[in-house]
Structure 1
Amino acid sequence: MSDGQRFHELDDALTAVGGETGAAEAHGLLCGMFCGPQEPEAARWIAHVLAGASAHGDAARGCLAALTEVYEQTRAALENEALEFQPLLPADDEPLETRARALGEWCEGFLFGLGVAGSEREHLPKEAAEVVNDLGQIARIDPDAGADEDSEQAYTELVEYLRVATLLVRENTATPAANGESGPRDRLH
């Protein structure tokens, strides 16, 4: 399944239960939580994502299955030494406005997730703090800026920046065990 299909599957599942959080924001939240001093519990993330939703019956089961799958895939991608992590966003054939809006929502979710995880900006290493500030700026993206070749290129560069930024912040904030490492390391506590 492509990332675009996975995005729509999760977004549809969240909509089916009346979720107030979309797929991009939910994934950003999860990634931010994974950048904390402890690996997040799936149940805690799911509780944040489904706050305010009315999940019942088949729709609830489907949504929980989709969220659990995204959690497991994200954890595996973040722990992968081949750096295969990708932010969960709409497919490239979606209108730029839709993709840009999702990009901003992903950043908002990420920043919230950092807070939920207990990673405070003022305690981040300088390079990670700069990245977090950048994500705050990207969260305010104007999705109605217009679609042209330069905008498409800028979007592509921002997605790659999110990918690398997430890995950088995680490297600077997560505990050694969360990064698949052993032994003490100077980490954010």
Structure 2
Amino acid sequence: MAIEYPELADLWEESGCFQKPSALHGWLSGYLASGARLAPEEWLKEAADYLEIDDLPEALSNAVIELYMAVVEQLSAEDLDFHLLLPDDEEADVDEQVECLAQWSKGFLDGIGASGQLTRTPDKDVFEVLQDLDAFSQAHIEDINDPDNAELYLGLTEHARVAAMTVFYAYNQPAPSTSGVSPKTLH
């Protein structure tokens, strides 16, 4: 299930959303990565609240539900096909791409916070990637003419993608199986 940035960006604009689709994708990715799940009605309410829209238009509601299903599928896939919802270089200049990455990163952290799932101190790897995402949430281009901007952006994007998967795998492991273990008998 492929969700494309340009179609969502158009729908966001038509619906009067002030944020980029990247921000909501980040929020949802963080929420799901923390181990939390939402029923469709709950997700629509959370999305409307995050987008600051009282009543989601039908087309936007459908897209938001499709986004939820796509993110769950991508994060859960064994082929590591999760990708961030960001504009590519044909849709935006590197300055806007970095802005969207910053919004995605902030959204990811907001989603984790909204989930209420991280009640204990995260392990070292998770803590480090969350710190990285916090830094990414403040990213901006200082010199728009620097020829290395695009390459640096791609590196940050891949780092954010791996960070999201690191959190997901840390908090979405199946419970240990007890099959094959003989029950202990008390005498």
Task: Report TM bin, short chain.
Answer: 0.7 to 0.9
- 1:129-168 map, 5 Å: 129-168=127-166
Residues 173/92 of structure 1: CA separation in 2 closer, same or farther (3 Å cut): same
Residue of structure 1 aligned with 2:77, choices 51, 76, 80: 80
Between the aligned partners of 2:40 and 2:141, the Cα distance in structure 1 is 31
**Amino acid of the structure 1 residue aligned with 2:101:** L
Does 2:89 align with 1:95? no
Q: Cα deviations across residues 65-114 of structure 1 (Å, max 9, x unaligned)?
A: 11111111111111110101001000122200110100000001000000
TM-score, normalised to structure 1, is: 0.82
How big is the shift at 1:40?
3.3
Residue of structure 1 aligned with 2:68, choices 68, 71, 90: 71
Q: Cα deviations across residues 22-66 of structure 1 (Å, max 9, x unaligned)?
A: 20000000000011233233433332322221436xxx1110111
Residue of structure 2 aligned with 1:110, choices 108, 111, 117: 108
Residues 42/27 of structure 1: CA separation in 2 closer, same or farther (3 Å cut): farther
Question: Over alpha carbons, which structure has the higher Rg?
Answer: 2
Residues 18/182 of structure 1: CA separation in 2 closer, same or farther (3 Å cut): farther
The answer to whether the 8 A contact 2:28-2:68 is kept is yes
Q: Cα deviations across residues 130-165 of structure 1 (Å, max 9, x unaligned)?
A: 100110001000145414331111100011111111
Between the aligned partners of 2:97 and 2:7, the Cα distance in structure 1 is 16
Aligned residues: 175
TM-score, normalised to structure 2, is: 0.83
The answer to whether the 8 A contact 2:2-2:70 is kept is no
Match of 2:183 in 1: none
Match of 2:121 in 1: 123
Q: Percent identity?
A: 25
* 5+ residue gaps, structure 1: 185-189
Between the aligned partners of 1:77 and 1:17, the Cα distance in structure 2 is 26
The answer to whether the 8 A contact 1:36-1:174 is kept is yes
Structural RMSD (CA): 2.3
How big is the shift at 1:8?
2.1
* 5+ residue gaps, structure 2: 179-187
